[in-house]
Amino acid sequence: MLFLLETVISGLMAGVMYSLVALGFVLIFKASGIFNFAQGVFALFAGLALYDFIATDGWFYDVFGFVLPVWLGIIATMGVMVIVAWLVEFLVLRHLVNQEPIILFMSTIGLAYFMEGLGDTLFGSDVKPLNIGLPSGAHDFLLDNYNFYVEKLEIVAAGVATVLVIVLGIFFQKTRIGRALRAVADDHQAALSVGISLRTIWVIVWSVSGFVALVAGIMWGSKSGIQFSLSLIALKALPVLILGGFTSVPGAIVGGLIIGVGEKVAEVYAGPYVGGAIENWFAYVLALAFLLVRPQGLFGEKIIERV
């Protein structure tokens, strides 16, 4: 029983990590109807930039001869992500207004590979252990008293994800900018007519998703170092989104948790019978099954079509 619980908990924690990436997708999709393939690369890029600001083997240190304290590094990285958001709007989105979603999607694939290459050129491709002083190792109290293994970092990640979801939920549902974001996603022309500026909204939404990417980058980076495989997490976020619904912030979280727990439990209990490695494909099969039953996802907006 304890073992099952441990499996579930570690699945939940892995799920939180997926959720963090999925959140970034949801934000951009909700506000602009674009599936941003580059979200995973955003997380990677944010992690790389942060590492560069605070570690002695980056070029920031080479140029200025000092490193930034962690908090300042995070703020500086956020600045970088806002600039990236602005550049994306200025160089890409602005010229693709009113284009088909598939064209916008293709442009984000281009963006993903460009940023991956840029990150490689700027920061090098070796794995970088990100250490910003988050607690690591097992939670001693639980381990000693209940023989129960949970990593401290994962508890922190869970806390951070919770706060993010609450803040983003309020922001999207209950504020002017949140409404404007959703309005832009629904109808560009109508949004313009009530005085919403598309450009401002796009910069805001890409910045917010840059912020979420930064959080994801920090968490993943602290857990397993900043490495280029981080950009592939984007693919794990896909089934999470299908499960939770592409337009739902809570959906991204719940979807992530279900996938995380599901694949861990499946791996541990069903794995031995089929030779293991269930973890690699379980999420996708689950998503496929879900598409058949409830295509809008658990929390997605109901698909409304007047005929």
Choose one: 11-19, 143-151, 190-198, 284-292; the region binding other proteins (CB under 8 A).
190-198
DSSP string, 139-205: -HHHHHHH----BHHHHHHHHHHHHHHHHHHHHHHHSHHHHHHHHHHH-HHHHHHTT--HHHHHHHH
DSSP single-letter state for residue 302: P
Compute the distance between CA of residue 155 and CA of residue 26 in angstroms, rounded to an integer.
Answer: 23
By CB under 8 A, is residue 191 in contact with other proteins? yes
Query: Which CB sits closer to other proteins, 49 or 164?
Result: 164
By CB under 8 A, is residue 307 in contact with other proteins? no
The residues pairing with 128 across neighbouring beta strands, listed in sequence order, are 226
**Could you tell me the maximum CA-CA distance found in the chain, to the nearest angstrom?**
66
By CB under 8 A, is residue 204 in contact with other proteins? yes
Distances, alpha carbon 52 to alpha carbons 5, 21, 126, in Å = 39, 21, 13
By CB under 8 A, is residue 143 in contact with other proteins? no
The residues pairing with 138 across neighbouring beta strands, listed in sequence order, are 151
Compute the distance between CA of residue 52 and CA of residue 60 in angstroms, rounded to an integer.
Answer: 6
By CB under 8 A, is residue 138 in contact with other proteins? no
By CB under 8 A, is residue 186 in contact with other proteins? yes
Contact of 290 with 243, CB cutoff 8 Å: yes
By CB under 8 A, is residue 167 in contact with other proteins? yes
By CB under 8 A, is residue 95 in contact with other proteins? no
In whole angstroms, the minimum distance from the beta carbon of 121 to other proteins comes to 32
Contact of 22 with 237, CB cutoff 8 Å: yes
In whole angstroms, the minimum distance from the beta carbon of 186 to other proteins comes to 4
By CB under 8 A, is residue 203 in contact with other proteins? no
By CB under 8 A, is residue 75 in contact with other proteins? no
In whole angstroms, the minimum distance from the beta carbon of 189 to other proteins comes to 6
By CB under 8 A, is residue 171 in contact with other proteins? yes
Query: Which CB sits closer to other proteins, 140 or 305?
Result: 305
Options 187, 272, 277, 295; binder of other proteins; rule CB under 8 A: 187
Options 56, 140, 193, 293; binder of other proteins; rule CB under 8 A: 193
Compute the distance between CA of residue 295 and CA of residue 136 in angstroms, rounded to an integer.
Answer: 39
Using CA atoms in the order 226, 228, 231, 233, what is the torsion angle rounded to 10 degrees?
A: -70
Choose one: 97-105, 108-116, 153-161, 164-172; the region binding other proteins (CB under 8 A).
164-172
In the complex, the residues that contact other proteins under the rule CB under 8 A are 167, 170-171, 174-180, 182-183, 185-187, 189-197, 204, 247, 301-302, 304, 306
